[in-house]
Amino acid sequence: MIASLRGVCVEIENETAMIDVGGVGYEVFASASTLGELQNHLKKTVQISIYTHVREDQLTLFGFFSKVEKSLFLSLLKVNGIGPKVALNILSGAGYERIYEFIENGDAKALSSLPRVGKKTAEQIVLTLKGQLVRVDSADGSKAASGKNTLLQQQLTFALVNLGFKSSLVENFVTNLPADVNFEEGVRRGLAQLSQS
């Protein structure tokens, strides 16, 4: 099984990145957060953790820039009815900290608002994972909040650049967003403001 890849990130599309390892291009599916990180390292050498999903008719690679994200991804795979693609969509819908809070608070309604998560799946996530996840953040609340905000900024930057806005304008917009804005609200504000630029 492929556990990690080290190579040059040569291309990023909607859900995937291509990592060139010694002349071989590997297509890697990744969350918005990881794709945002890879966007910052385009044409540079990167190392990412890999989950290899094998079926009779295909072999698919899923990549993660952080061990925290991979850990949550693997936990989601334990939930009945959740496959790798759905788990990745959940990770793209909210940062680790928010997903952790939804699960630990038993907030199935919030979980069901994430991409491709219905009411029954959300309830199953809570039933399977509540109390099972390891909280990964700093003892210093301000640092934890800062990390979460950085993750959100990366997700928003990637999403808005992919919608066709110039990266310089997007970065300026994202940097000046209030800290309490979530992903959905950030995208809405970005579309409204950047469309006028």
CATH code, domain with 56: 2.40.50.140
Instruction: Report how far apart the first and last C-alpha atoms of the chain are (Å, whole number).
Output: 47
Q: Is 141 a residue whose pLDDT tops 50?
A: no
Q: Is 26 a residue whose pLDDT tops 70?
A: yes
Question: Quick one: which of 161, 197, 152, 157 has its CA closest to 179?
Answer: 152
Check which CATH number belongs to the domain holding 113 and give it. 1.10.150.20
Q: Give the span between the Cα atoms of 6 and 63, in whole angstroms.
A: 11
Q: Average pLDDT of 53-59?
A: 87
Tell me 135's DSSP state.
P
Give me the number of domains the chain comprises.
3
Please check whether residues 51 and 71 belong to one and the same domain. no
Residue 13 inside a domain? The answer is: yes
Could you tell me if 31 and 17 are in contact, meaning their C-beta atoms sit under 8 angstroms apart? no
What pTM value is reported for the model? 0.67
Residue 136 inside a domain? The answer is: no
pLDDT of residue 145: 39
Domain enclosing residue 124, as ranges: 67-129
Q: Give the span between the Cα atoms of 166 and 155, in whole angstroms.
A: 15
3-state secondary structure of 18: strand
Q: Average pLDDT of 21-30?
A: 96
Please check whether residues 173 and 145 belong to one and the same domain. yes
Measured in residues, the chain has a length of 197
Please check whether residues 125 and 71 belong to one and the same domain. yes
